[in-house]
Amino acid sequence: MRSTGWKTGSIFAIALTSIATVCGGGYAATPEPLASAPLKPAAGNVRVDFTAPTHATSALSVGSAISTYAGSGSNLIKGPQRSLWRQYLQDLGPMVWRIPLYYHDGQVGSSAGGVHGGDEGAAYIAAIKSIKGTPMIAVGGSTNDNDIQAADAARLVHYFNDGAGQHGGPVDYYIVGNEPDNGFGLNNYLYGGNGSSGFHANVSAMRSATTRRLTIAGPSLVTWADYKFGDFRTFFANANADADIVDFHKYGDGQHLDNLNRTYEYSDAVNWLRTEIGNYFGSRSADIGIQLGEFNYNSSYSDWNDAFYTSRNLVHTASVVGHMLQQGGRAYQYSDNNGPLGLISDGTGNNGQPPGQFVRLPAYWGLSAWTGGAWMRRFGSTMVAASTSLPEVEVYATDHAKKIILINKSTSTDQTATVALVGKDSGTYSVWQYARGMDPGAFASGPQFQPPRRIATDRSFSAGQLQVAVPWMSVVVVTVD
């Protein structure tokens, strides 16, 4: 989180050698499973194996952030467009909504750097729940993200959870602080100092403030990359009894166009973190979640309108979520009201946005490919093995319910996916296409700003195979029944 209305100043993650089981070039969503032989021979150039589950998903798997930035504009609870804003966010369907809040002077307000204070915490939490969202509070400090006193952290929990829930509560999911390595000091965050009581003291106070089971995350470091390995290990060594979720941030790889082809780094991050969690958390390892607490195409706009305002961002967003979920992680975009880095244009006309308009941006539609929202089925409860031989194409799939997401990252080549379905010989399928739009100024009619088009409805298939077109720079969603 940052002190301006859009994300600035994060360190770019650097490219890494793949650490574990990510397929070369990022073209395949997952390696072939090592399980038993398929029920029938795989055919075609895409293979989805509904008999080979990989990881469970949950209500916490996909989300975004309520930035609390509005100024003279609108957001979920502020301004003349708040009803439209709320409807747009509700249309995405149930998601996690991460929000920076802190306790002060008997009230709860924003703990974001540029909007620090106020008494809007209860209104934000109630609004998140009104759109069927799950609130996850990033606990802030007295003057910044991390100078958190244990007594105030406890009072924050009391504020929402006393009496089985008040002020819009209860709230059971919390992140302690935000990016402590960005000037505050990781040692201060962990051990106390610079205004902080320290991670253990803060977590202990929060748990003691309620009889409800709290799920608590940290350390929310600025980025995941190899130069952060030591910081993560320091956190793991000192917080393995306190943290339930390991939270990290990553904003692409600093590449104007090639960020799109480096989303495999998100898989690398989960694989590395999972190994380190196994080394430090002992018997708790299997229960520790991994969440990408903030992601976006880049950490600042940088005049990249051909990235943020085209299907490039839609494809990137859908791919990041896919990589995270396929490896058992969770993915939270940053954020709803964030200028070019937002889900909805803010009406200001700044940074290439349309003045006076509130348009659902490509990142919004990238999330909706997974959540389904008002348009299609939500992702299922189980990720399953999926792979493809098509160049520059990724495929992800879920079971319970059956859903397939095909992503074509190419800038010039259409593909036809012949999908072999292991474990589903016949039935019907429907198809939605997020059509390509590469004109960054076409806010009124550009396909990248529009809902997906349903291009096939309840078509029959047999012999465990179906076929679907996947145009270049597009996302195609298939539901199977």
In this predicted model, what pLDDT tens digit does every residue of 274-329 receive, in sequence order?
Answer: 999 999 999 999 999 999 999 999 999 999 999 999 999 999 999 999 999 999 99
Residue 335 has pLDDT above 90, yes or no: yes
pLDDT at site 224: 87
Provide the β-strand partners of residue 344. 360
Alpha carbon distance 372, 194 (integer Å): 44
Task: Flag whether pLDDT at 69 surpasses 80.
Answer: yes
Report the CATH number of the 58-371 domain.
3.20.20.80
Residue 43 CA, distance from chain mean position: 33
Cα 235 to Cα 138: distance, rounded to the nearest angstrom:
17
- What pLDDT does residue 114 have? 87
Interval 101-116: pLDDT, tens: 999 999 999 999 989 9
Task: Write the DSSP assignment of 175-198 as a string of letters.
Answer: EE-S-TTTTT-HHHHHH-BTTB--
- pLDDT for the residue numbered 217: 98
According to CATH, where is 2.60.40.1180 located in the chain?
24-55+380-480
At 225 the pLDDT is 86
Q: Are 466 and 48 a contacting pair, CB within 8 Å?
A: no
Q: Are 171 and 134 in contact (CB under 8 A)?
A: no
Which one has a higher pLDDT value, 35 or 200?
200
- Tokens, residue 471: 């145009």
What is residue 27's predicted lDDT score, i.e. its pLDDT? 31
Q: State both tokens at 288.
A: 């520790």
The answer to whether 24 and 99 have CB atoms below 8 angstroms apart is no
Q: Does 30 score more than 50 pLDDT?
A: no
Among the residue ranges 58-72, 196-210, 252-266, the one predicted with the least confidence is 58-72
CB burial of residue 165 (10 Å; 0-12, 13-18, 19+): middle
Residue linked to tokens 């829930």? 165
Phi, psi at 249, each rounded to 5°: -120, 150
Q: Decide if pLDDT at 37 tops 70.
A: no
Q: What is the pTM of this model?
A: 0.92
CATH class label, 24-55+380-480: mainly beta
Give the separation between CA 127 and CA 131, rounded to whole angstroms: 7
Furthest C-alpha separation in the chain? 66
How many C-beta atoms lie closer than 10 Å to residue 232's C-beta? Answer: 20
- Containing 236, the helix (H) or strand (E) segment is helix 229-239
Pull the structure tokens for residue 46: 């895409």
- Provide the Cα torsion 203, 294, 318, 297; round to 10°: -170
**Percent of the chain clearing pLDDT 90 (strictly above):** 88
Taken as a whole, the chain contains a residue count of 481
- Confidence at residue 314, expressed as pLDDT on a 0 to 100 scale: 98
* Cα 443 to Cα 75: distance, rounded to the nearest angstrom: 20
CB within 8 Å of 407: residues ≥ 6 apart: 315, 318, 319, 322, 393, 394, 395, 396, 470, 474, 475, 476
pLDDT above 70: percentage of residues in the chain: 91
pLDDT band per the 50, 70, 90 thresholds, residue 70: confident
Please tell me the predicted confidence (pLDDT) of residue 414: 98
Question: Which range, of 8-12, 96-100, 168-172, averages the lowest pLDDT?
Answer: 8-12
Rounded Cα gap, residues 131 and 152, in angstroms: 28
pLDDT at 68 over 90: yes
Task: Provide mean pLDDT across the span 244-249.
Answer: 98
Let me know: does 124 contact 66? Beta carbons within 8 Å: yes
The per-residue pLDDT for range 123-167, each reduced to its tens digit, is 999 999 999 999 999 999 999 999 999 999 999 999 999 999 999
Report the DSSP beta bridge partners of residue 102: 109
Question: What pLDDT is recorded for position 19?
Answer: 33
**Sign of the dihedral defined by the CA atoms of residues 312, 315, 319, 320, in that order:** positive
Q: Are strands 330-333 and 289-295 parallel, antiparallel or unpaired?
A: parallel
For the chain, residues classed under CATH 3.20.20.80 are 58-371
- In this structure, the dihedral spanned by the alpha carbons of residues 157, 162, 166 and 168, taken in order and rounded to 10 degrees, is 30
Give the tens place of pLDDT for each residue, 73-82: 899 999 999 9
